[in-house]
Amino acid sequence: MKLKTLASALLVTLMISSCDDSTGTIGTSITSDMDKLEIKTDSFNVTTKSIAAGNVLSRNINGYLGKFKDPETGSYITADFMTQFGVLEDFNLPNEGDIVSKDNGKVIADSCEIRLYYDDVVGDSMALMHLKMYELSKPVTDAAALYTNSNDIESNYLRSGGFEVEKAYTLADLTTDAKEKAEKNYSPSIKISMNKPYTDKDGVTYKNYGTYLLQKYYSKPSDFSNSYTLINNVIPGFYFKSVGGSGSIGRVFNTIMFVYFRIQYNGKVYNRIASFSGTQEVLQATHIVNDQQALQQLINQNSGTYLKTPAGIFTEMTLPVDNIVAGHEKDSINSAKITLQRINNVSTSPYALQAPKQVLMIPKDSIQAFFAHHNIMNYKNSFVANFSQNGYTFNNISSLIRSMYENKKNGTASADWNKVVIVPVTTTSMTIQNGSYSSTYSTGVYNDMSVRSVKLLGGNTPLKLSVIYSKFK
Please write the tens of the pLDDT for every residue from 271-294. Answer: 999 999 997 778 899 999 999 999
User: How many CB atoms sit inside 10 A of residue 25's CB?
Assistant: 9
Flag whether pLDDT at 12 surpasses 50. no
Do 343 and 250 share a domain, yes or no? no
Q: Please tell me the predicted confidence (pLDDT) of residue 14.
A: 42
Do 352 and 254 share a domain, yes or no? no
How would residue 35 be classed by pLDDT, with cut points 50, 70 and 90? low
How far does the chain reach from its first CA to its final CA, in angstroms? 21
Domain end marker among 226, 261, 289? 289
How would residue 7 be classed by pLDDT, with cut points 50, 70 and 90? low
User: What percentage of the chain reaches a pLDDT higher than 70?
Assistant: 93
Q: Please tell me the predicted confidence (pLDDT) of residue 24.
A: 44
How would residue 390 be classed by pLDDT, with cut points 50, 70 and 90? very high
Strands (E), 266-374: 268-278, 284-289, 305-309, 313-318, 332-341, 358-363
Q: Please tell me the predicted confidence (pLDDT) of residue 10.
A: 53
Q: Please tell me the predicted confidence (pLDDT) of residue 36.
A: 77
Do 209 and 326 share a domain, yes or no? no
Domain total in the chain: 2
Q: Please tell me the predicted confidence (pLDDT) of residue 335.
A: 97
Q: What average pLDDT does range 358-387 have in this prediction?
A: 97
Do 325 and 448 share a domain, yes or no? yes
Do 270 and 358 share a domain, yes or no? no
Q: Please tell me the predicted confidence (pLDDT) of residue 33.
A: 60
d(CA 468, CA 84): 49
Domain end marker among 289, 321, 354? 289
Residue type, 110: D
Q: Phi and psi at residue 90, in whole multiples of 5°? A: -100, 25
Flag whether pLDDT at 34 surpasses 70. no
Position with higher pLDDT, 174 vs 116: 116
The answer as to whether 103 is a domain residue is yes
d(CA 239, CA 401): 43
Do 388 and 321 share a domain, yes or no? yes
Do 282 and 305 share a domain, yes or no? no
Q: Please tell me the predicted confidence (pLDDT) of residue 462.
A: 97
Q: Phi and psi at residue 241, in whole multiples of 5°? A: -115, 135
Mean pLDDT, all residues of the chain: 91
Domain end marker among 289, 313, 347? 289
The answer as to whether 27 is a domain residue is no
Do 44 and 80 share a domain, yes or no? no
Q: What average pLDDT does range 162-168 have in this prediction?
A: 97
The answer as to whether 25 is a domain residue is no
Do 431 and 407 share a domain, yes or no? yes
Do 194 and 300 share a domain, yes or no? no
The answer as to whether 354 is a domain residue is yes
Q: Please tell me the predicted confidence (pLDDT) of residue 347.
A: 80
Residue type, 97: G
- The tens digit of pLDDT for each residue in 99-117 reads 999 999 999 999 999 999 9
Domain of residue 435: give its range. 40-53+291-472
The answer as to whether 34 is a domain residue is no
State how beta strands 383-388 and 305-309 pair. Answer: unpaired
The answer as to whether 407 is a domain residue is yes
Flag whether pLDDT at 437 surpasses 60. yes
| CA atoms within 13 Å, Cβ hemisphere of 332 | 13
Give which of 391, 359, 364, 350 is closest to 377, Cα–Cα.
Answer: 359
Question: What is the DSSP annotation of 77-116?
Answer: EEEEEEE--B--TT-----GGGB--EETTEE--SEEEEEE
User: How many CB atoms sit inside 10 A of residue 105's CB?
Assistant: 5
Q: What average pLDDT does range 188-206 have in this prediction?
A: 97
Position with higher pLDDT, 11 vs 450: 450
Flag whether pLDDT at 32 surpasses 60. no
Position with higher pLDDT, 434 vs 368: 368
Task: Indicate the pTM of the whole model.
Answer: 0.89
The answer as to whether 238 is a domain residue is yes
Do 270 and 146 share a domain, yes or no? yes
Do 225 and 319 share a domain, yes or no? no
d(CA 147, CA 463): 32
Q: Please tell me the predicted confidence (pLDDT) of residue 27.
A: 44
d(CA 14, CA 33): 9
The answer as to whether 59 is a domain residue is no
Secondary structure of residue 103 in the 3-state scheme:
strand
Stretch (H or E) spanning 8: helix 3-10
